[in-house]
Chain A
């Protein structure tokens, strides 16, 4: 890995300078430390930390850590403030103290705030997780959900050209990754690798990735991990506020407008609401040197929320609609294997010109989510009941419109998926040291298709019950969980003049046990052992048809058994003065792992020959390493190094599995200034993303994996106070060198390069409206 060697050399070089500078500037004292709950010893995130008599301040990060810098030598009073906790202050002398741990004690909470509850329930799970919020989330504005998360270690994305991307956690995706959208399990046609999650990232003020199986709390499918899309809590004070986000991207001439309007009525105590909407329009993207014809897309999203609360209860409703039309690279839609081979050989560049027009092949997708919920608070803890209805509509238009005129412009394939979910959850503390949650959840689902035969209609009933308890004693935490799930699936296959039905039943118990230990104030070690399982999905059982994007014929197998996972994850978290970071290791054994295996034969159709694939099961091993290390070179300059390594093997043949992310290294240098002239919170970063060649076997695919690549991105962000409110602005510059490369996890690597240089401008304008 030549890149990290260079980085280390640069680092040493810069460190010399730091030492020299440190001697000359007295105002470089730092105080860092962490904030913890006095009882549970959990780290407390988002504590507001201010230095009395000084305009310096910060807040603790999601791990409860904070860092104050550029202090002149002297004595300061530091104030720690957080909702639900008693405010405390402490006086320290910079010459004596550089590190401290602060314990906050909980207020006798009368005010049951939603946000505190949310964070608390999340910290209950001893699991490796990472989240994007604040400035980091801002930098991803305008991108898709998967693109936003791709900077997190252990996370990658699988793409189908510039318009379709979906997240990959620890090498797993689609049915093995759950997305919890505002507390509701997102249900779309997630089995398809070209079916992107139907979520507007602007809904979220925080995106969290739970890495590794988190089945106990979220459901049996969560073998790879869980993505939590969490909106900002509704407004707590009377009045109105709004926020406008504007993003422009040059590569595909994309414009994004997103707005939020929040209100809390003075007239009705406890009634708050939100309206939110996003509009995106993008034309076709450019690879270095040529246009990617028909890769434009358009998105219109809308959501609204209302909540009514009193001292001991709260009820609310949420509705969101996601709507997109997206173009698929024209030359990727091909007839048969001969066409595919022609595409490889001809290597003809796309001669199309930039256009906003979206033509066939394309997808039209909409997703409606309606959620109603109630929370009760009392001596027993918190009770939550949530019901949600989702309707997912997906229409796929092949390149060729139907010959029959009466079918007109109708899609070649259409799915309507209706999902009802009901969740009941009880969060409780049995004693100060023993806390936990228990829950029951149920789901009823029906899928109806029209058009080309691919998967049959089905109904699906799922039920689950779980219990998680966590024991805390001083620096030690122990967590255990157990869950039972049941799934019933009935398929309705159309045999022309009759319907053939098949019933399937699966049920299993899974469990997990985890522990964490604070080795010192800086160092925390965590390890979890668990089991998870997943029933085969409808496509794995029944798919029967041609996949035009990949020129392949796919066949399901209705005798497939459930997958069984035994996982071990461990995590070391260090937060030192100059260096902080974490390193995680995981090792998963998956029995009856379901995957699409290439056949040696071809399937003959009227369209010619197709390579044939079928779903089968093998015993597999997934293991890997994630690391994220930040080194404070100076108070203002940080070097961040992220490494994502995944290995997945067929245990029977010891061969690597296909479509697993290649080794990824992200290095960035960030220079931050608290203020510069009229600008505040200035941050300048230079990032290198290097990906090695995939280790997948060369002979099981149409083409061997593409070589590794290295791209550079830069970003500048700052805020300008306008009438007292900070307007955040950002300028991003992706693929600065216009590097030509292909990514193994892009299904369109057969046809085209990745997109080239992209210049991004972002603005976030908060608007305070006095009542």
Chain B
């Protein structure tokens, strides 16, 4: 008799335990995603001449490829002020601007700009972090003197070695660190 009681006790204990757990887990999400890189160009000597181009991947990795909102067209031999914004637009009803967060952690971040072909334009930083090293949220882009089109790759590095050779003048090759953004814009000079 004792034996059957024992089995019953164990079985009911097991049932109690298992029914404690809610069967259907409620999905919830709290992720962070950089989806947008916004480039604001303004002609250095005529700031009214300005335009904004966005590189956007709202559905994150996979799914749709990122898209560039409009072509970037610069005028020959002119200089432009380029400021960059970084946004999370994965939830359309709650767009987050992460630019300030990048600025707050500026010691650990740096943007790099590479032009292909290199005659397209040249780049100089116009901001600096607490250690007087560049960040790249504010820049000057000087268009080349020939009509040409190509790509501009903007890379945001997390924890780059800003003291490594060439890094503070914008050479990415020794920067190390981890890539947070790598966006390839098509660009032309007319």
Contacts and interface: CB of A to CB of B under 8 A. Distances in A.
Contact of B29 (A378, A407, A490, A494): A494
A608 B101 contact: no
B182 A313 contact: no
A452 interface: yes
Nearest to A342: B176
Nearest to B56: A606
Given A403-B101, A603-B61, A608-B179, 19 more contacts: A335-B157, A335-B158, A346-B176, A372-B10, A385-B7, A387-B14, A400-B158, A403-B102, A412-B32, A418-B21, A420-B17, A444-B18, A446-B21, A447-B25, A553-B61, A606-B34, A606-B66, A607-B34, A608-B183
B184 to A, nearest CB: 8
B181 interface: yes
B127 interface: no
Contacts of A450: 28-30
Given A399-B158, A405-B101, A420-B21, A607 B10 contact: no
Interface in A476-502: 490, 492-494, 496, 499
A608 B176 CA distance: 16
Nearest to A378: B3
A362 B159 CA distance: 16
Contacts of B25: 446-448, 457-459, 492
Given A334-B179, A451-B31, A492 B24 contact: yes
B91 to A, nearest CB: 7
Given A387-B10, A399-B159, A400-B180, A492 B21 contact: no
Contacts of A385: 7, 10-11
Query: Which among A334, A453, A603, A607 has the greatest number of chain B C-beta atoms within 10 A?
Result: A607
B17 A333 contact: no
A457 B6 contact: no
Contacts of A5: none
Nearest to B6: A374
A339 interface: yes
B132 to A, nearest CB: 23
Given A399-B159, A400-B180, A605-B61, A376 B24 contact: no
Contacts of B36: 606
A183 interface: no
A610 B96 CA distance: 25
Nearest to B9: A374
Contacts of A334: 178-179
Interface string B147-190: 00000000101110000000000000000101111110000000
B83 to A, nearest CB: 18
Nearest to A400: B158
B13 interface: yes
Q: For chain A, what secondary structure do more than half of its interface residues adopt (helix, strand, loop), or is it mixed? A: strand
A389 interface: yes
17 contacts: A335-B182, A336-B182, A376-B7, A399-B159, A399-B178, A403-B105, A450-B29, A452-B32, A490-B24, A492-B25, A494-B27, A499-B27, A603-B61, A606-B55, A607-B34, A607-B179, A608-B179
B24 A313 contact: no
A765 to B, nearest CB: 38
Given A453-B31, A605-B61, A606-B66, A333 B18 contact: no
Contact of B31 (A447, A452, A499): A452
Interface string A530-555: 00000000000000111000000101
Contacts of B23: 444, 446, 459
B35 interface: yes
Interface string B53-95: 0010100111001100000000000000000001010110000
A312 B4 CA distance: 13
The number of chain B residues touching the other chain, given as a range, is 35 or more
B37 interface: yes
Closest 4 CB pairs of A and B: A335-B179, A608-B182, A387-B14, A403-B101
Interface string A371-396: 01110101000010101010000000
A525 interface: no
Given A459-B24, A499-B27, A544-B62, A336 B14 contact: no
A424 to B, nearest CB: 9
A606 B35 contact: yes
B31 A553 contact: no
B37 to A, nearest CB: 7
A420 B105 CA distance: 45
Given A405-B101, A457-B25, A546-B61, A315 B17 contact: no
A155 B40 CA distance: 58
A338 interface: yes
B14 A553 contact: no
A629 interface: no
B27 A457 contact: yes
The number of chain A residues touching the other chain, given as a range, is 35 or more
Interface in A593-632: 603-610
Contacts of B21: 418, 420, 444, 446
B182 A422 contact: no
Contacts of B48: none
Interface string A548-577: 000001010000000000000000000000
Given A399-B159, A494-B29, A545-B61, A372 B13 contact: yes
Interface in A397-443: 399-400, 402-405, 407, 410, 412, 418, 420, 422
Given A404-B101, A494-B29, A422 B14 contact: yes
A456 interface: yes
A144 B157 CA distance: 35
Nearest to B179: A335
Contacts of A545: 60-62
B30 to A, nearest CB: 6
A376 B62 contact: no
Interface in A326-357: 333-336, 338-339, 342, 346, 348
A603 B86 CA distance: 21
Nearest to B14: A387
Given A456-B27, A606-B183, A607-B180, A387 B32 contact: no
A453 B29 CA distance: 8
B27 A313 contact: no
B41 to A, nearest CB: 20
Nearest to A410: B30
A402 B101 CA distance: 9
A338 B173 CA distance: 11
Interface in B93-149: 96, 98, 101-102, 105
Query: Which among A339, A346, A458 has the greatest number of chain B C-beta atoms within 10 A?
Result: A339
A376 B6 contact: yes
Given A387-B14, A403-B98, A606 B57 contact: yes
A676 B18 CA distance: 57
Contacts of B178: 333-335, 339, 399-400
A459 B26 CA distance: 11
Contacts of B2: 313
Contacts of A410: 30
A32 to B, nearest CB: 44
B7 A374 contact: yes
A461 to B, nearest CB: 9
B6 A607 contact: no
A334 B155 CA distance: 13
Nearest to A604: B65
Contacts of A603: 61-62
A91 to B, nearest CB: 45
Query: Which among B21, B61, B159 has the greatest number of chain A C-beta atoms within 10 A?
Result: B61
Contacts of B90: 496
A333 to B, nearest CB: 6
B33 to A, nearest CB: 8
Contacts of B28: 450, 494
A402 B32 contact: yes
A243 to B, nearest CB: 31
